């Protein structure tokens, strides 16, 4: 195994990785390894496939009521961001 050091990483990116790692129940280091591996496997311009866990999470009843307009806006924001070239 090799080691890579990333310098000048934007603080907001680091915080987002930390939060995403916590949501997945893994370390930030593991989350970064997973993200890099997904990106390399998917290649440029390809969308990653959802995991079974992610699909099942969508089918559960929400714990509290939510704003449908906000949810729709978030979906469109996500779709728009994922279509942008890197």
pLDDT per residue, tens digit, the chain (86 aa), is 888 898 999 999 999 999 999 998 999 999 999 999 888 887 766 666 788 888 888 888 777 887 889 889 989 988 887 666 55
- Quick check: 45 and 85 in contact, CB under 8 A? yes
Tell me what pLDDT residue 30 has: 94
Q: Give domain status of residue 73, yes or no.
A: yes
Question: pTM of the predicted model, to two decimals?
Answer: 0.49
Q: Give domain status of residue 3, yes or no.
A: no
- Taking CA 67 as the corner, what is the angle to CA 16 and CA 74, rounded to the nearest 5 degrees? 40
The tally of domains found in the chain comes to 1
Domain holding 27, by residue range, is 11-83
Q: Give domain status of residue 42, yes or no.
A: yes
Q: Give domain status of residue 46, yes or no.
A: yes
Q: Give domain status of residue 16, yes or no.
A: yes
Tell me what pLDDT residue 50 has: 81
Q: How far is CA 58 from CA 40, 48, 55, in A?
A: 26, 16, 5
Q: How far is CA 5 from CA 29, 67, 82, in A?
A: 11, 41, 26
Q: Give domain status of residue 4, yes or no.
A: no
Q: Give domain status of residue 56, yes or no.
A: yes
Distant-in-sequence, close-in-space partners of 47: CB < 8 Å, separation ≥ 6: 82
């Amino acid at each position: 195994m090799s080691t890579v050091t990333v310098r000048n990483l934007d603080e907001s990116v680091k915080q987002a990785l930390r939060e995403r790692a916590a949501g997945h129940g893994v370390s930030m280091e593991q989350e970064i390894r997973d993200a890099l591996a997904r990106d390399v496997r998917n290649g440029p311009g390809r969308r990653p496939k959802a995991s079974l866990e992610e699909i099942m999470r969508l089918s559960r009843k929400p714990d509290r009521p939510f704003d449908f307009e906000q949810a729709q806006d978030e979906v469109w924001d996500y779709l728009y961001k994922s279509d942008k070239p890197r």
